[in-house]
Amino acid sequence: MSSDLSTDPHPALARRATSRRWLPRSFYARAALILILPVVVIQLAVAVMFLQRHYEDVTIQMTSNMVRELELVRSQPDLASPLGIRLDVGPVEDHIRFWDLSARAMREQLTEAMAGIVAVDTVSERKTVKVGFETGMRMTFSRNNVSAANPHQLLVFMVATALLMTAISFLFLRGQIRPIRRLARAAEAFGRGESRSYWPSGATEVRAAGTAFLAMRARIERHMEQRTLLLSGVSHDLRTPLTRMKLELSMMDAPEAADLAEDVAAMERIINTFLDFARDEANDSKETVDALALLRGAVDLAAPGRDVPVAGQGAQVVLSPDGMRRALANLVSNALRYGARVRASVVVSENWVTFVIEDDGPGIPAEQRDAAVRPFARLDAARSNTAGNVGLGLAIARDVARAHGGSLRLGESDMGGLKAEIVIPV
């Protein structure tokens, strides 16, 4: 039965991921958004309430009081000067800035309360209001009589306070996220096989995560140490009887001695493979080496005297040369075991260096490639073990690649066989 690989098996998760694409990716940015968004909303709400209260209610109330004085001056012009109103004759153009909310409220109140007003000008003279009437009369008075002085002070204070508190919050938030970043760097270093010093710090939850990480790292290190001691001990103990068997076979003249010697040699290769798998060569001291020269050395180690072409460009990379050389040699040995023609190359990009080993053998089906890199995995169950194949070559290469922060990729070569790539960052 065929299955559609393009169908998402988890549509709910896909929709959830799509709905969150607008969110920042880092925890620092998301926490900052959670912190800033409520502050901005509160500031906007307070600002709107203040604007409505100040620019409408206060302005309308002060304008209503001013209307009484203007009406009094219209009926008794002699009172203009004592009331601070300049009375003269002249045209007035209706001119109010579009963002001047108090002026708009003032004009509406004036035109509603007084008859005969044709224009209101708040722009031609600073902090002055000119009112023109149908009769040609013009009244000029101070803007402070109809609106509060310096109405922007509260807004400036609100914005300055918000910026100051946001800066303080950013500094505090940065201090809270620093322990999380330290934990992430320690976990990343441990994944590469490095033991970086780390101690839990920060909030209670971060300390709990750090303590759990230290406990997990200690358990993994104990497990790796026990695995290494077990495989090393078993392999070392088997060398003594194998040496005696090789000595006895060399002294035998029986026809079966040659076949037995091949079996003993295969067992010795298996033991050496166990030791390679148990030896943590990727944790050796890292050095700056030439990638192309390293690949040539691995080819010479795995196939001495064989004509295996090596191509690519040289590049200086920092890695563990012993571990990487052994991993590449295992890939070359596997390629020579199953293919007649093998080629090796190095591909250098801006951020990655890729070691490529290709052959013309039967290859590995796509559905079996994940299983092929597991330790002791042999895809052909009927294949004999006398050739020394225990299914650790790809597992060693994968562990070495991961220890360098990279990966092992298996694909199909244009030669018809398997293409194995070790990709590491530079």
Give the pLDDT of residue 354.
92
Q: What fold is seen in the domain 282-425?
A: Heat Shock Protein 90 (3.30.565)
Integer-rounded Cα Rg, in Å, for the chain is 42
pLDDT of residue 421: 92
State both tokens at 223.
């497990």
Give the pLDDT of residue 23.
66
Residues in the chain, total: 426
62 and 145 Cβ atoms separated by less than 8 Å: yes
Q: In the prediction, which pLDDT does 104 show? A: 83
Q: Structure tokens of 326?
A: 């052994």
How does pLDDT run along the chain (426 residues), one tens digit per residue? 434 444 444 555 455 555 466 666 777 777 777 777 887 788 777 777 766 666 677 888 888 889 989 888 888 888 888 888 888 888 888 888 877 777 888 888 888 888 888 899 988 888 889 999 988 889 999 888 887 655 566 667 777 887 888 888 888 888 888 888 899 888 888 877 677 788 888 888 888 999 999 999 889 888 877 777 777 777 777 777 878 887 777 777 777 777 777 777 777 776 776 666 666 544 567 788 899 999 998 898 888 878 889 998 888 888 888 888 888 988 998 888 888 889 999 999 888 899 999 998 888 888 888 888 877 666 654 333 434 555 667 887 888 888 888 889 998 988 888 999 999 887
CATH class of domain segment(s) 189-279: mainly alpha
Instruction: Look up tokens 């006398």; give the residue.
Output: 386
The per-residue pLDDT for range 131-185, each reduced to its tens digit, is 999 888 899 998 888 876 555 666 677 778 878 888 888 888 888 888 888 998 8
Q: What is the pLDDT of residue 18?
A: 53
d(CA 47, CA 41): 10
What whole-number distance in Å separates Cα of residue 313 and Cα of residue 182?
36
**Neighbour tally for 13: CB within 10 Å:** 10
Q: What pLDDT is recorded for position 189?
A: 81
For helices 27-51 and 153-191, what crossing angle results, to 10°?
170
> What local confidence, expressed as pLDDT, does residue 255 receive?
72
User: Phi then psi for 185, rounded to 5 degrees?
Assistant: -65, -40
Q: Where are the domains of the chain?
A: 46-145, 189-279, 282-425
User: What pLDDT is recorded for position 52?
Assistant: 64
- How far from 262 is each of 240, 265, 333, 336, CA to CA, in Å? 17, 5, 18, 19
pLDDT attached to residue 379: 62
Provide the pLDDT for residue 419. Answer: 92
